[in-house]
Amino acid sequence: MFRRDVKKIDTLLVQFLRSTGLETPLLQRRLVDAWPEVMGKNVARHTGQVFISNQELWVKINNSALRAELSMMRSDIVERLNNHVGVRIVVDVRFF
pLDDT tens per residue across all 96 residues of the chain: 677 888 898 888 888 888 888 889 999 999 999 999 999 999 999 999 999 999 999 999 999 999 999 999 999 999 999 999 999 999 999 999
Residue 1's pLDDT is 61
Phi, psi (5° rounding) for residue 69? -65, -45
Q: d(Cα 13, Cα 19) in Å, to the nearest integer?
A: 10
Question: CA angle 89-95-96, nearest 5°?
Answer: 135
pTM: 0.82
Q: d(Cα 48, Cα 44) in Å, to the nearest integer?
A: 8
